[in-house]
Amino acid sequence: MDDDIPLALYLHFPWCVQKCPYCDFNSHALRGEMPEDAYVAALLRDLDFELSESRITRHESRPLVSIFMGGGTPSLFSDRAIGRVLEGVHRRLAFAPDIEITLEANPGTAEAAHFAGYVAAGVNRLSIGVQSLDDAQLKRLGRIHDRGEAIAAYELARRAGFANINLDLMYALPRQTLAEAEADIAAALALAPEHLSYYQLTLEPNTEFGLRPPPLPDDELAWDMQLQGQALLAGHGYAQYEVSAYARPGRRAQHNLNYWRFGDYLGIGAGAHGKRTDAAGVRRRARHKHPRTYLQHAGGAQAVQDDRVIAATELPLEFLMNALRLNDGFAIADYERRTALSWAQLPAAATARARGLIEEGGGRVWPTELGLRHLNGLLGLFL
């Protein structure tokens, strides 16, 4: 194990009030009463199993640098339940002094009522999935909240004590005009969050939108929306550091940075994915997606659906598909230490340079503006 590689923890909460038509995450519409206590117990059993398999103890030299509770809708869980989870994690693993602990929330008064309790439980970063602040768009997106509820949830989070808030906002929405996209991001900026995730709506297979696509802006208009959004964000003091991530100074998302820098993370919960480095190499492991199956097997090997060591030939793409999303790219030394491969001997690197998709200097590699715009094409060179 490389003690220089940071360690994080991802916890998945799989239930939502209803499934959004564009969502391809492992989320399930809640039917009946949520098994809150049973799921919390399952998460901690699963963590015990993972720590045993990984031979990680509380006295290991790598403390957790971040915890991210995603979903689904984690804010459907009570503050008491979230407190039990975090207390259980802390009994098993050391926390870095500046650990970032994020919880995803959807707007809605019933969930927002727990915000003060989340702060008391140790959550220090809230990510609110507003997606849009336009009521017509929220209806088209199948969201269960409106603009007023989104703003009220944000304000309640502030009053509860959250000093680090991210807003998720999408553009290139059904029938959206350039002016509407501008008004949407301006409304989000007026709230002054510390971080904004501003990303394009994409149609994913096996979703309602994927099967019955709504009318979306064409590629040229979507690009204009992105450029417009970038200019507005920069003008309000938000620096872009990743394809869809913008932050005020000192507020970049540490958990996501660990993903993009090829750090290690434990993945616990239904459908959760993890990545860790051990004597065998880089290992990826995923849990069963369905909550019922996961609840039945959590704490044992049967909860794991996929467990594999990444082949050496796949490591360049595994590393680069994350690192090349970052505006400042990566250190060549990090690439070589974490893949055990030579950057100079990677033929696709020379091709990417020649096409103006990446630049190198000072021991670093970073994507150009052209490379970021055509990121899929850039990554395709390393397949």
| Residue boundaries of the structural domains of the chain | 7-259, 314-380
- DSSP single-letter state for residue 8: E
Q: What is the CATH number of domain 314-380?
A: 1.10.10
Q: Which of 298, 296, 272 is nearest to 46 (CA)?
A: 298
pLDDT at 1: 45
CA-CA distance, 217 to 236, in Å (whole number)? 26
Dihedral angle sign, alpha carbons of residues 380, 24, 194, 181:
positive
φ and ψ at residue 271, rounded to 5 degrees: 75, 5
pLDDT at 112: 74
pLDDT at 3: 67
What average pLDDT does the segment 75-80 reach?
95
Residue type, 169: L
pLDDT at 58: 67
Mean pLDDT of the chain: 94
In the predicted structure, residue 287 carries a pLDDT above the cut 80:
yes
Query: Which stretch of DSSP H or E encloses residue 72?
Result: none
pLDDT at 49: 96
Dig out the tokens for 265 from the structure: 């993370």
* Predicted confidence (pLDDT) per residue in 211-257, tens digit: 999 999 999 999 999 999 999 999 999 999 999 999 999 999 999 99
Looking at domain 7-259, which CATH architecture does it have? Alpha-Beta Barrel (3.20)
Q: Judging by DSSP bridges, how do beta strands 165-171 and 125-131 pair with one another? A: parallel
User: Do the two domains 7-259 and 314-380 of this chain adopt the same fold?
Assistant: no
Dig out the tokens for 342 from the structure: 């030579």
Q: How far apart are the first and last CA of the chain?
A: 26
Query: Which stretch of DSSP H or E encloses residue 327?
Result: none
| Contact of 105 with 75, CB cutoff 8 Å | yes
* Predicted confidence (pLDDT) per residue in 324-339, tens digit: 999 999 999 999 988 8
| Contact of 94 with 59, CB cutoff 8 Å | yes
φ and ψ at residue 86, rounded to 5 degrees: -65, -35
pLDDT at 296: 97
CA-CA distance, 176 to 259, in Å (whole number)? 31
State the pLDDT confidence band at 65, using cuts at 50, 70 and 90: very high
State the pLDDT confidence band at 57, using cuts at 50, 70 and 90: low
201 burial type by CB count under 10 A (0-12 exposed, 13-18 middle, 19+ buried): buried
Of the given ranges (128-137, 186-195, 276-285, 361-370), which has the lowest mean pLDDT? 276-285
**Helix 315-323 to helix 332-339 angle, to the nearest 10 degrees?**
140
CA-CA distance, 276 to 283, in Å (whole number)? 5
In the predicted structure, residue 347 carries a pLDDT above the cut 80:
yes
Cβ-based neighbour number of residue 222 at 10 Å: 20
